[in-house]
Structure 1
Amino acid sequence: MKNRTYYTIVYITVLLCFSSTDIIAQNSDTFEELKGKIVDADSNTPLTFTDIVITNSYISTVTNNDGEFLLKIPTTLLKETVSISHLGYEKRELKVSEIKLNAKIKLTPALTALNTINITTRTKNARDVIIETLKKKSSLYNNKNTVMTAFYRETIKKRRKNASLSEAVVKIHKQPYNNIKNDHIELIKARKNTDYSKLDTLALKLQGGPFSNLYTDIIKYPEFIFTSNDIPMYAFSFDNTTVINGRDIFVINFRQNENISTPLYYGKLYIDAETLALTNAVYSLNISNRALSSNMFVRKKPKKVDVYPTQATYRVNYRTTNGKWHYAYSNIALTFKVNWKGKLFNSVYTLNSEMAVTDWEIHNTKLAKTRTTLIRPTTILSDKTSGFSDPEFWGSYNIIEPEKSIESAIRKIQKQLKRT
């Protein structure tokens, strides 16, 4: 059986040096910044993972956990419209000038008449829908060579305190969805800071970096969750339908059958009712079996330490451009409990990584010609403190706006760098 969590391997080790990677400078362009916050029109609750896209371009970002976004727009696009969409809400389109005047944008929940979609006329059961969805990657998803610019962030916390913060701009050399070749990732710009005093004598390292999030693309990499051999091990059922961008969406629940002991996944799949394209997925790993789930994640650890996951959740969002779907955003949250044998107290570590596609372009030539800047799926992002003291470090690159706890951590890093 293929290693299902190949893209979330963790090293729990005594302090070691991180592998090194190159940093490349970026050309600066003239741009303006748009900042705002997306909230529920009724409750004023921040809306996380909302898609923000500039029309007539491939420039985009997503909101953070506080519902906030920062979008850098070339001055040539300032007359364009900003499209704002969120699962279960009415889509909004606003002029750039409107966002400048009102940075707090409210989305109205979409009203859908439940059970109005006659599922039985399309298929017999939820499992059939999943099988049909996985077969449609050649017809519904982008099948051209694409270079995607993406922003990646990785945080490690010991309990509630930030212990490590990594950020990077990468180029994803995305292979066509009807191609069995794996994608490549090129590192463009990166920074990292680790406070080892908060990690005590242990260092947690997430192998794979941006690859961890890229492999959550279920349509491109179904082998990590839904192979033809795996599907019979799951129970699928229909939930109430929802809406995205005015389109009805099937919501399908799935979880492993009770007689299966191997740790599998459970969660929800959001599938376009008309085309059967996967639009979103939110799922978790069943970690009830500590020994088996630990073996799936932990590649290396000291002999006197017991490590097991207490949470492993994943999210992937897709976006449609020119009638074709493609990977847009993913988030991984892992929590581990670390017990030293013979010691009374344990430690809890949380690893969170997210990656958002912020721009992309079609390439008619073969991808990833220059291999000197490519990173490998086994790469661990290097320790780099440069950039945290420079507020203009990212230039015109779009990033995921940092949430409050990350902003606080960056401010502390900047103060430490000034003192040194």
Structure 2
Amino acid sequence: MKKENTLKNSLVLLYTTMVLCVFGLQFTTQASNVFQEPLQGIQTINEFKGHVYDSSSKDALAYVDINITGTNISTITNKEGAFLLKVPTEYLNKTIKISLLGYAEGEIEISSLKIDDNKIYLDLSITQLSNVNVYGIKNAEALVRAALNRKSEVYDNNRTKMTAFYRETIKKRNKNASLSEAVLAVYKQPYTNSKSDELSLLKSRKSTDYSRLDTLTLKLQGGPFSTLYTDIIKYPEYIFNKNDLSNYVFTFDESTQLNNRLVYVVNFKQKVNNDEPLYYGKLYIDSQTLALTSAIYNLNISNKELASKMFVRKKPFNARVYPTVAAYRVDYRTRNGKWYYGYGKIELTFKVNYKRKLFNNVYTLNCEMAITDWKIDDNSKLVGEKLKPNVVIIDKASGFSDPEFWGEYNIIEPEKSIENAIQKINKQLEDAES
């Protein structure tokens, strides 16, 4: 029974994320161009673009948090280290804080930034290694249990209304087949409250090239909720809760730093006598508060048959489908001494082998959500169209030809491959109109 419950926990996170099937009905939302004023409520904005690099290697740094000090407005760098930050005019006299695990925190005056091509360099933090001994805890598993027990003390337990930017791409091999982007309102429940978070759609755009999906379509129904469910503290049952920790081995890794504070690093993997697909990865725990600051983990897919059953509910009879990558990430941010969900990301890659065919197909889903603004809000009703957990944003290319489509919303700067895909969509739209 315990083994079945653990598998069920894994299924809860993954079953809505990727389903392979013949063309069929999809849950969709029609709200593709709904305008909602950003949380900051400021109409005059200033845009700043740039990249963040390692000061020694000069390598671009991904997933760097960039926050306007004294506000809840923030953005994050993409995989190529690029960022776009929209700053209301009233905040131009403030500074931005730049933070990333393993690096010393940076701070720059906004007035010193250029409109474009800003280059920001972060220094690797020097961590003094020591024996882990916080609150008398010397065992890695005990530290993880303590962190899971701290949700009432160190996480934001107000009901908050967040603005989030969401992006989802589907690739067939290295070519984009579908691109979805949306701005969402996230109604985040207190971490001590068992009630689930809610989402509503404020603005979105999507384009799908089904010719690249052949006669087989990947029906990707994870959507925004899947990235929201990477919040381990709010939804521990989707990876492991306190009762499931006995299925894992926990060990300490070298400590690191975040925002000039010591962070303990805990490796985890499933026990060798357990052959069901569980997770492995790293947990990053703040040494002062025992808050989980980040988690980077993967599903163990070495058992292809069991891993496939977790994802695939329906497929063509002549196809063998199994995952080759199932990777997850969640990052938390802190303000006024409390931590809150800031970023979630999922990457899933599937291989499809057909009988009597020489070549196989490889499909990859990437979806990420970044919180770009938030405020405490106990009583407000949902604005925009409420989304269901199994939502799929409807196909509609509206907005890709409009450079001002997102208005004042902060978004994740697109990577070069996505920029190229958008350019092709714009070309198609222009050809269709001519």
Q: Is TM > 0.5 for Structure 1 vs Structure 2?
A: yes
TM range (shorter): over 0.9
Shift of residue 97 of structure 1?
A: 1.8
Tell me the distance in 2 between the aligned counterparts of 1:16 and 1:59. Answer: 40
Specify the alignment match of 2:123 in structure 1. 108
Is residue 244 of structure 1 aligned with residue 258 of structure 2? yes
2:21 aligned to 13, 37, 47, which one?
Answer: 13
Specify the alignment match of 1:96 in structure 2. 110
Is residue 210 of structure 1 aligned with residue 224 of structure 2? yes
Is residue 59 of structure 1 aligned with residue 73 of structure 2? yes
Is residue 129 of structure 1 aligned with residue 154 of structure 2? no
The one-letter code sitting in structure 1 at the alignment partner of 2:21 is T
Tell me the distance in 1 between the aligned counterparts of 2:299 and 2:338. Answer: 29
Does the 8 Å CA contact 2:283/2:294 hold for their aligned counterparts?
yes
Shift of residue 275 of structure 1?
A: 1.3
Specify the alignment match of 1:378 in structure 2. 390
Shift of residue 26 of structure 1?
A: 3.3
Does the 8 Å CA contact 2:134/2:287 hold for their aligned counterparts?
no
Specify the alignment match of 2:313 in structure 1. 299
Specify the alignment match of 1:160 in structure 2. 174
Tell me the distance in 1 between the aligned counterparts of 2:112 and 2:93. Answer: 11
Tell me the distance in 2 between the aligned counterparts of 1:106 and 1:5. Answer: 41
SS at structure 1 position matched to 2:282 = strand
Specify the alignment match of 1:25 in structure 2. 35
Figure out how many residues of one structure are paired with residues of the other and give that number.
Answer: 417
Shift of residue 17 of structure 1?
A: 5.7
Specify the alignment match of 2:351 in structure 1. 337
The more displaced of 145-154 and 97-106 is 97-106
Is residue 175 of structure 1 aligned with residue 189 of structure 2? yes
Tell me the distance in 1 between the aligned counterparts of 2:327 and 2:381. Answer: 31
Specify the alignment match of 1:408 in structure 2. 420
Residues 322/97 of structure 1: CA separation in 2 closer, same or farther (3 Å cut): same
Shift of residue 305 of structure 1?
A: 1.9
SS at structure 1 position matched to 2:141 = helix
1:87 aligned to 98, 101, 108, which one?
Answer: 101
Shift of residue 322 of structure 1?
A: 1.2
Tell me the TM-score normalized by structure 2: 0.93
Does the 8 Å CA contact 1:7/1:211 hold for their aligned counterparts?
no
SS at structure 2 position matched to 1:129 = helix
Does the 8 Å CA contact 1:238/1:251 hold for their aligned counterparts?
yes
Tell me the distance in 1 between the aligned counterparts of 2:221 and 2:377. Answer: 29
Does the 8 Å CA contact 1:155/1:166 hold for their aligned counterparts?
yes
Tell me the TM-score normalized by structure 1: 0.96
Shift of residue 379 of structure 1?
A: 1.0
Question: What RMSD over aligned residues (CA atoms) do the two structures have, in Å?
Answer: 1.5
Tell me the distance in 1 between the aligned counterparts of 2:25 and 2:421. Answer: 22
1:200 aligned to 183, 189, 214, which one?
Answer: 214
Specify the alignment match of 1:36 in structure 2. 50
The more displaced of 26-35 and 210-219 is 26-35
The more displaced of 2-11 and 400-409 is 2-11
The one-letter code sitting in structure 1 at the alignment partner of 2:77 is T
Specify the alignment match of 1:310 in structure 2. 324
SS at structure 2 position matched to 1:402 = coil
The one-letter code sitting in structure 1 at the alignment partner of 2:196 is N
Provide Cα deviations, 1:115-150, integer angstroms capped at 9, x if missing partner.
Answer: 2x4427621300000000000001100000101100
Provide Cα deviations, 1:28-47, integer angstroms capped at 9, x if missing partner.
Answer: 82101011100000010000
SS at structure 1 position matched to 2:10 = coil
Tell me the distance in 1 between the aligned counterparts of 2:365 and 2:145. Answer: 32
Is residue 290 of structure 1 aligned with residue 304 of structure 2? yes
SS at structure 2 position matched to 1:64 = coil
The one-letter code sitting in structure 2 at the alignment partner of 1:25 is F
Unaligned runs of 5+ in 2: none
Specify the alignment match of 1:4 in structure 2. 10
Unaligned runs of 5+ in 1: none
The one-letter code sitting in structure 2 at the alignment partner of 1:59 is I
Is residue 395 of structure 1 aligned with residue 401 of structure 2? no
Shift of residue 230 of structure 1?
A: 1.3
Tell me the distance in 2 between the aligned counterparts of 1:56 and 1:38. Answer: 21
Does the 8 Å CA contact 2:47/2:86 hold for their aligned counterparts?
yes
Tell me the distance in 2 between the aligned counterparts of 1:336 and 1:368. Answer: 39
Specify the alignment match of 1:276 in structure 2. 290
Report % sequence identity: 55
The one-letter code sitting in structure 2 at the alignment partner of 1:110 is S
Provide Cα deviations, 1:92-126, integer angstroms capped at 9, x if missing partner.
Answer: 111112222870000011111122x4427621300
Does the 8 Å CA contact 1:21/1:382 hold for their aligned counterparts?
yes
The one-letter code sitting in structure 1 at the alignment partner of 2:181 is E
Shift of residue 11 of structure 1?
A: 2.0
